Structures are given as structure tokens and as C-alpha cells.
Structure 1
Amino acid sequence: MSNYKLWAKIDNDKISFFTEDYLRAKEPQLFATLEAWRHNYKKYQQQVKLSENKVNVLREKGIRVLSNPFLALKGKWHWFTGSWHNDAFKLEGEAKQEIERYGKYVVNFCALDDRQKVINASCGSTELTDEQQAIINTDFNGYDTLLINAYAGTGKTTTLSEFSKRRSSERFIYLAFNKSVADEAEKIFSSNARTFHSWALGFVRRVYKTIKTSNELTLKDITREVEILKAMAEKNKDKIYKNAYIIAAVIKEIFEGFCRSSANSVKEYVKENFYNDFNNANGHFYLEHCIELADIIEGLIQKMKNGEIECPHCAYLKIFELELKRNPNFR
């Protein structure tokens, strides 16, 4: 097999090599996109340069870098055949033998990042390591937790897949940080795959059924509370409260900080973080001002729960956290 058709995927932490047959069979939509880009390569090609460590690690495995920097589609995908004059890589020795031996069954070769200087090759083998086997054989009771700490490309997903297969009578949920990862997991696991956000929102909606979501709490949402702000201005005779937009900006900053914190209430968050006063780009606010604003924020959160105003992602995650603290069986 003197020639081959491979795609190299260049990520920040690793480089993976896929045969065309593998992508065509396992990732048909991705393969179609790559082919479209390749046929219009002048529009999509960008220059990529590998670190010296990555080049050395690839060479150790038998993958020689012919040119560096080189061109890759969208700066991420490089197609090479072993005979094309623009090839950035050439397979030699062990790498070439494995391609010839396994052909379309080669999944990938991973050159992991500069810190690790390790090559991980996967050529259709399903043999598990001792560490993977130990994880799969672990029994769980109640709310036991098992933490698996491993580098990219070392088989975490394979391990979880085998773990779930051997417990077919039990229910599993796969949680991911973004939807694209959850969608990919859905293809591998028979159990439910969700993002953390959608999982938390599902529980929150059991209690607050009319809650509506949005990307963020806008200044417009806050300034709708202008009657409260005006009343506060009259009460305090204080210039600081007379510009609703400035107050709204400060409320937004305190609100987002509270949602990211471990505090149980907005007032607790204000007292723990602002001490005597609070300076930001919109002015100088004393602690007493911030505590009064905390009442408005608590009111906004209640309106979110009631569906009167939209609830941003950070808020329903905070509501979920607080509900868990109040009722550990909330899940």
C-alpha cells in the first residue's frame, strides 16, 4: 500500500489522523463537509505551524512532518495521500505498517500535547488497560463518586461505554459541557446524553413550571423596575439613584456575581464581597446601597421563577444549586 488517503485533524492539544474510509463510514456528514472544503481549498486553507515537540513526537511514531508551517482547511484539517506534492505528513516505519495492516479500520494516531510528549495509537483494538478494567469493575452504591482523571485521547469515552454496557439493567445519564459533545455521546451511549445546563433546567422546571430562559439578564429587563428605582431615589434623596441605567448596570454586575458564587442569598453575597463600599465603572456605592439593590435582585429572581421575566442560564443554574441545598433529594 504505497499510497493512502488520510485526514489529519490539528487541535491545540493533539493531532489525530483518520483514514477516509473511517470518516466516510463513521462521520458521513463531516466527511462530506471536508470534501466540499477540499474541492474549494483556496477559500478555506490557512497556515498552521506545529511546535518542535509535536514534530519530534510524531517522528518517534513514524509520522514525518514534511513541511512546517503547512496549509490546513480552516486551520484544522489537512488531507494527504503519500504522493501529493503538498503533503505535510509522510507515514514511515511502524505508522505505515499499521495503516497497511488495518487499512480502513485505523481510527487515529494521536500526538498529544507538548507537556505529555506521548503517542497514543488506536488501530481497532478493543483491549482494555488495567486501569480501564479497574474502573469498569468498580461497584457503586447510592451516591458514590468515582473520579477518572486522564488526558485527551486516552480512552475515557471507551471506558464509560464499557462501564454502561456491563450494567444494562441500570439507568445512566451522560453530562457534557456543550451540546455538540452531548450529541456525539448520544451516538455511543444508549443512555440519555444531556448538557449540564439542560439537565439542571429540567429539574428547575419541575418546581417552577412557567420559567422562561434567555442568554442573559439585559439592562432593559432591569430598568423595567424603574418605579422601584424612582421610589428609592425619592426615599434617599440621593443622586446616585436618579440614573436608572447606572443602577441597572450595577444590579447586573451584582446579580451575575451572585450567580457565580456559593452564597445562599444576594445579601450574603454583597456582605461577603463588598465590605464597606463597592467601586465600579459606573460610580461609588456604599454597602447600604448594595444591600438595598440586593432586595431588587431577589425580586427579579422571584419574577424569573414565576415566568414574569426571562431567566438567564447563570440564574437557573443558581436556582438549581439553591434548591439542592434546601432539599438534597431534589434530584
Structure 2
Amino acid sequence: MIKRKWKDTNNVLIIPGFKYEEAAIKYGLFIAKNRRPFKPSKYIAFYSDGIIRVFARIVSVLDDVDLIHDIYPGTNIPFIDYLRIRDAGFVKSLASGERKTIFILDKIKPCSPIVDDSSKKTGFIHTRPKYTTIDKLLRSSFTSQLDDKNNQKSSSSTLPDHPDVKSSSKSLKPLKYPELESPDSESVTKTFSASFSPSELKRLDSKSLDSKSSNLKPTDEQEEIIKRFGDGKNILVRAFAGTGKTTTLKLLTLTYPKRRFLYIVFNRVAAESARKTFGSNVSVRTIHSLAFGFMKDKINVSNFVNNYQIPNIADTLGVDYDYARAVKIIFDEFCYSNVMEIGDLDFSLFFRDNIDLLSLVKTGAISIGKALRYTEQFYRKMEDGKIPVTHNFYLKQFQRLGMADSVRYDAILLDEAQDSNLITYDIVNRIKGQKVVIGDRHQKIYGFRNSLDISGRFLSDRAEEMPLTNSFRFHEEIATLANNLLSTLKAERIRIRGVAPHRSVSNKAFITRTNAKIVEIISWMIRNNDWKTVRDPRELFKLPMSITKLFTNPRINYEIPADLSFLERFKRLDELEEYARDVNDIEMMSAISIAKRKSSVIEKCFLKAMDQFNLENARVYLTTAHTSKGLEWDEIHLSDDYPNLFKAIGRRGGIPRFIYMQNKGESNEIEDIIEEINLLYVAVTRAREKADIADIENSDTLFSGDIKRIVEKTMLEIDDTQKE
């Protein structure tokens, strides 16, 4: 559920914390640290320094930060400024995608100061919220008079709604919040009598981006992109690692301040960062939030689920878990495709990319025909309002109803094109306006999520391809390593230039291919306390602990997650191993190895990892290549669990054929190898100062002169063929 309907009540939710009071007064917002089940309340009050002095009416309660921008479209809410007054742990959890409860507030008013007369050491309220009623709040002088034991009875009183409540406010001095001063704005001073409405969330507190960014000087490549945009060209920007794609787009939007830009980003964390970076002529959205802005009046916004788990689907349709799993896979694939009907999906490609579904069909667990019919039933139930809808559903409906045709901007900026999907391409293509698509095909690493590099489709639509090659992240030695990798295995002719200076090393990361390898590294570092995982350990340990529980150590205290229940179909571990080899599931093969070798210590490793995860900072970080994308460290070490690329290429016909297939656009059957190369490139380019790849199998061969000569000869032959 993403927006809550709270039943009519005169309850007041009391929250402790001066910082929250600041945020409420400045922004009309309160974002809870976690999604605790708050009782329905019409008002919120803030308790700080032993006094309750201010309260507000709750306008909306949401469970997704990104949706604030959907309810108030076109806003640039300064969330980064808001986050500056919150603690670091909160900011980190928000960046990791942890869900929050968001209260949008209106008409912040004073009440007569209510003084804490509690005898408790921690005071009237410490960390957990408390509740009272609006009549008690307005009539009390001491916290002991706010006793909430009889709230239910009191809340039925017929007090008028907030705008008409008369407050017997004493004469209070204005509160000043010097911490809220921004570098470009005057000191922020608010009085308790100030009134804030949701419309005021649309104002930025700082000066326009133009004044803050006027000292940005574009590189020659950036200058050329801006010039070609001014000529009215659609542009595909090939932005190699660390080459300043965000700066380029910012310069573009600053150069044309009177044009209205729609900037579509990968996820809501990127959206929040971009909203701080870009000016008021740029509307920043995820593809889902864009769709929601148009669909919110056509669907029940109070009846949402983020996703359906397999047991929920099974109960909804009255089917077993195997069919429920198939429905989940087909439903998601349909929602991300460009086809309009489920039956139009291309299952020849579908089975190739969905080994779990292929396994269900091959073992006879399901009939694909029945699975399709069940998926259609599931989709219709959402259409008819019989079950809560998902984010993917309203995105698909936005496409099917042709609503993108009514979106109007002067230009559309699309980020991360290499890890997009067909529905995004279809929607962006339908929106009227000049297109700037930005991505790096060498960073396409999410094929297992059915992502697709849509850059080529924009090229075929007559977009002009332009590169960004100056990396401001690393120096020339790291650039050489990345260039050797791409030129040897992908015949890339454009070279990255490392223009960053050398620096001292203060942190490092071990970047693995699999989650299971992180578990193994943790077992080696269990007595060390200066490390942490980048990703939540519950996700990292999920597969190896499930396999351990089922096959090698059933005594561990662990419950198999619903999305891994298919493992229970295998009677013996060797059957699971055979399956993992058949489908070439590297993650599962690695997890099986951990279950065999670390079954006696895996639970201890998990508990240690959970403790370490709470650290604010560490000297050593543990992450997979997938999770590392978008991050950077001074020094990186690649682990030994990356596959032997030359063996894999040899099985597909050798290097010349591998290069030919990439060049001719026939890469479907080698897509898995290409993504493994991309993972190495992503991992290597996380380094600012030093990259150690010595543990990779055949790392010396990777950059040998013999291999380079074979690639160069192949490319010359391809060039000669094209001349003919």
C-alpha cells in the first residue's frame, strides 16, 4: 500500500525530536525512520526538550518517497536539504531503498506549551511515539494530562477540524534554525504562527541552479553534445565510466533554461539526487512515477501492493506454488514488454532469459498454456479492481491506454539506457519532444532482470551517437586496464582517458561475482571488525543459507523464503548441482559450494554480518559487481569467482567468431558472456586509485599480445568485408 486512507479520528500522534520539529516547520514533512504501524491520527505533534509546542494537520500518509512528486507534480522538493537535518543512518537506509512512512503536513500551529512532568528517567517520551486527542492537546499544560488510555472514547468528541481549532497560544518567541541555512540563501527564520500548505512544497529554498552552476566549464565533448542538441538533433550519448554524464545533462539544461525537460532516471534514489541537482525547468521522474502521475485518477491509489509474493498469487488464483511462480514470472515479463497482450509474448526469448520458468516446464510441473491463462486471470482481477494493483500494472496500463501521447515536454532525457526495457522505449518514443538518451553498453549487467539495452533502437530512429570519454574518477593506469579489457574482448575502438589525479588510499572494496563468495570472505574476516557489506546480509545469505538448511545442516535457525521454495523440489544436493550446471547458474553453484564447505559456521557468519552492517563507515567494503555499480572506492580487489571467459568464448566458437557475432548484432546467443565481460568492466572502473585483478582466472591471458593481435586481425577482416 502506498497511500493510506486513515479513518476519521481526532487522535494526535506525538513524535519525539527537535529535528523533526524543524523539518515540519520548514518543509511540511515528517518521514518516519521505519514503517511502524502508526495508529490512525488526524494530527501530529512534536515533543522536544521536554515540551510540546507545535502541532499540524496530517494531509497525506505515504509509503514511498517518490510518490510525493506524483501527488504534487512538477515540484522540486529539496529532499537533500531535508536530509541534512536527519541522522546519517536514516539517510543511508533511504539510499539503500528502505521504505519509509511519509507524513505530508498542513497548517502548522502552536499550542500552549505542554511541559513534561514525568518522573521517568527518559521523560514523557523517548523513542516510541505516543498518542493523545486534539481536545487534550489543546487543554493540557502538562504531559501527565495527555494520558492516552481512554483515547478511543475521547476521539469521538465533535471537535471541529483543524483550520477552525482555536489555540490559546501564549506569546512565544520565533524559533531560529541556523542549521537550515543553505550556502546560497538567507538565514531561515520561522515563527510558530506560520501556516504551511502542500502547495508551498513546490518552492525551492535555495537560489536557482543557474547561479550555483555558472562556474561549470564544459569539456570539448560536452560542448559538442550541447551544440548538436541546439541543432535539434536526437542524441545518443555513450558515457563511459566516470565521465560526468550527470554534469553533461546539467550543462545542457542550463544552456536552454526556457525549455522544459523530462528527465527519466533508473530508480527513486537517483531521482532524489537529480531533483537536488537540476533546476526548475527539469521534471525528474522514474518511468513508474511518470505513469502514476497520469494513472492516479484511474486507479484506486489507496489499494496498492509493491509486489505479490508467490503464496499471495496462489491464494488469489487457487493454484499451487509452481503455477503461482510461473504467473509471477510471466506477469512481470509482460509488464516490461512492448506487447499489448500476454499471448503475444515471444517465448523463444522468454525461456532463454527465465531459467526458473524453463525448469518448471521441463520437469512437467506446469503447462505453459495453463500458466498463460492464469496470468491473464490475475491481470484482469487488477483491471477490475478485485485485487490491489502493483506498480508494474499501472505502468503497463499507462502504455496500453496510449497515455504517453498526451505527455508534452520540449525534450526528454533518458538515463541508464543500457539497463532499460521495451516498455520504457515504447513510452519514451511516444512522448513528443527532442530525445537525449544516455548510457554505456559496456555497463549492461542486469539481463537476469530482463533488462534490455535500448540504445540501438534509438540509433535506428536516427539519433546521433556522441561519446563521453574523459573519466574524472580515475587516472590513466586504471583507464588503460579498462581499455585493454574492452578492446580485447569487445573490440571497442573508442578509448577512455583517465584525467583524475593520483590520491592516497583510505578505503578499499572486495568485489565478488557472487553473493556466496562474500559469505566465504566473511568467514575469513569474522574476527575483524573494520568491514561491512554494501548490501543487506539477509539478501546475501538467502540462497546459501536456504541450501544449507535443506541439504547440509538442517539444524540452523532459518526459514526458507517463499521465493526459494522451489529448492524443496530437489530431493538431494547432487540433483540441485546438476540443475545449476544445466542452466549455468553461477550464483547457485557458488551457494552450493558454500553450503558444503561452510555449513557449520554459516549462521555465525550471518549474525556477524548483520552486526557489521550497522556501521556508519568501514575501511573495507564487501560487495558484488552488480551491487557495486554507481559506487567507487580508492582501491578495489576482484575475487576469484569470476568465470573463465576464454573457456566460455572457446565453447562458442573462439575469439574471431565471438567478435564477428558482436559486430554483426548477432549477440543473443552470447549475451551471457558479454554480461560477464561487462561485470568485469564495471568492477574495475569502481577504482579511483588502484585495481587488483590478479585473482581472476587467466588474468594474464586477458591482456596478452597474442589475444590482441587476433582481435585486431578480426576487426580488419570485418572492415574489409564492410568496404566490399
Range into which the TM-score falls when normalised by the shorter chain: 0.3 to 0.5
So what's the TM-score if we normalise by structure 2? 0.24
